[in-house]
A and B are shown apart, each in its own frame.
Chain A
Amino acid sequence: MLLIPCPFCGERAEIEFRCGGEAHIARPANPESETDDAWRDYLFVRRSPKGVHFERWNHSHGCQRWFNVARDTVSDEILAVYPMGEAAPEKLR
């Protein structure tokens, strides 16, 4: 089980959290004028990288707040935690 450092509550066991999937996926700004390709990418295509991944987590059984996590998907090691709306740490991109 992951030990996740909630930026508001500190380290807690993973069962207190809900993973919100890949981070930094922006909803198309002009839905009517987007192509089918853009909709496919937004709705369905995911990075699923073997290595550093950026994802959203919610401390659903704690403070209920959202934040971003950078995690290595091979070792499961958590590399960074950063606020919603902020870009992924430069050195991990």
Chain B
Amino acid sequence: MQRYSIFSLARNALTGHKHWQEAWRSPEPQPAYDTLIIGAGGHGLGTAYYLAKEHGLSNVAVLEKGWLGGGNTGRNTTIIRSNYLYDESAALYDHSVKLWEGLSQELNYNVMFSQRGVMMLAHNVHDVQVLERHIYSHRLNGVDNEWLTPEEAKAFCPPLSIDRGARYPVMGAALQRRGGTARHDAVAWGYARGADARGVDIIQNCAVTGIRTEAGRVVGVETEKGFIRAKKVAVVAAGHSSHVMAMAGVRMPLESVPLQALVSEPVKPIFPCVVMSNSVHAYISQSDKGELVIGAGTDQYVSYSQRGGMQIPEHTLEAILELFPIFSRMSMLRQWGGTVDVTPDRSPIIGKTPVDGLYVNCGWGTGGFKATPGSAHVFAHTLATGEPHPINAPFTLDRFKTGRLIDEAAAAAVAH
């Protein structure tokens, strides 16, 4: 693997940038692998990377129906935070934030992780109480979070309106300073390059069309490029997870719904952090390119269309303008949708399935980008050893039978 540095940049500049190596190969599939990963999003590619790097397993292929990073990884609003209510979630998401902190160095690839702070607004007495409860529970779990008065919130994010006469006045905010954003594509590309360099085959334009089992054990997958034998198969297909798991006869506690986002025309730096409001349902940040990045909500019905209704972003923009009247004349440039797989408790499913050798990492719904490194790391452990890492042990598929839910739905209930 060609390492990136100021020197390699200078050297390649001298030859007109014509001699950069390809970041990864595009191999044809081998007839058999030890492990197959279905889905080359950040979670699948990261899993392959950690399998090779931490567990020395590189007889691995990642199968992708489109292009790598073209699913939700390349469609999300990149908010990263770990201020989740329950102990299990705090452990999982904070594991991830810690990995984010060293990821650019780890991958020798700039993922542009920026800890600019994530501020969640309170608009009524109930919000204040809920956020304060969250702050205390986060601190007990070693996750940073602090309370800001409306004036302090405005000082942290100057475009914010704290007008007391607003329909939903800002009554304070919870600020996680370690939270922030990253470059979504770079995360997929960085993991792909690192995995490829360690011998993992990344096979694009190769949809999985069937999962073959014998006597309750997985033996391989049918693909657009023929049958590929494997000892272990890992489904990391986000919005398509129910569909892929059904190929192995496993029915999932998931529903796939559209989730939309939009960006404005690029402007000079004006917005220094990430602001989220669960009550009026808005979240916003500014990319390094200068666009305001705005996340809208989910549509109310199951759909794989990768597009949602216009009323959803409209509703979000109404909320944004209430909080930031300064943006009322701004033009929006683009709007798009992804297909997100939502679990009943809004927590992911990471681990074994009823089929031997078949593993799943899904159910990240509206908020799994932030978890990419942590999820991939503990899932690689699960695949390599056959047993869950202590961090993902509570996130079983079985919990929907035992009733041991991790109910972040009640704790957040909002797209993020």
Contacts and interface: CB of A to CB of B under 8 A. Distances in A.
A46 B255 contact: yes
Given A41-B251, A48-B242, A48-B255, A55 B402 contact: no
A19 B402 CA distance: 28
Nearest to B250: A45
Given A14-B311, A19-B300, A40-B401, A75 B254 contact: no
A18 B300 contact: yes
A44 to B, nearest CB: 4
A46 B254 contact: yes
A71 B401 CA distance: 29
A74 interface: yes
Contacts of A44: 253, 344, 400
Interface stretch (B75-83, B133-141, B167-175, B301-309): B301-309
A9 B256 CA distance: 29
Interface string A10-51: 000011001101100000000000001101110111111110
A43 to B, nearest CB: 7
Interface residues on B, range: 20 to 34
Contacts of B25: none
A27 to B, nearest CB: 16
A50 B309 contact: no
Nearest to A39: B401
B311 A15 contact: yes
A39 B403 CA distance: 10
Interface in B291-335: 300-305, 309-311
A61 B300 CA distance: 15
Interface string A44-87: 11111110010100000000000000010111100000000000
B339 to A, nearest CB: 9
B396 to A, nearest CB: 12
A92 interface: no
B240 interface: yes
A14 B299 CA distance: 11
B154 interface: no
Interface residues of A, number: 28
Contacts of B401: 36-37, 39-40
B256 A75 contact: no
Contacts of B256: 48, 73
Contacts of B253: 40, 44-46
A84 to B, nearest CB: 17
A76 B233 CA distance: 31
A25 B107 CA distance: 47
Contact of A2 (B302, B309, B400): B309
A75 B252 contact: no
A50 B304 contact: yes
A53 B344 contact: no
B243 interface: yes
Given A15-B311, A40-B253, A50-B240, A45 B305 contact: no
The 5 closest A-B pairs by CB, nearest first: A44-B253, A1-B309, A19-B300, A48-B242, A44-B400
Interface of B: 240, 242-243, 251-256, 300-305, 309-311, 341, 344, 400-402
10 contacts: A1-B310, A1-B311, A22-B255, A40-B253, A41-B251, A48-B242, A48-B256, A49-B243, A71-B301, A74-B305
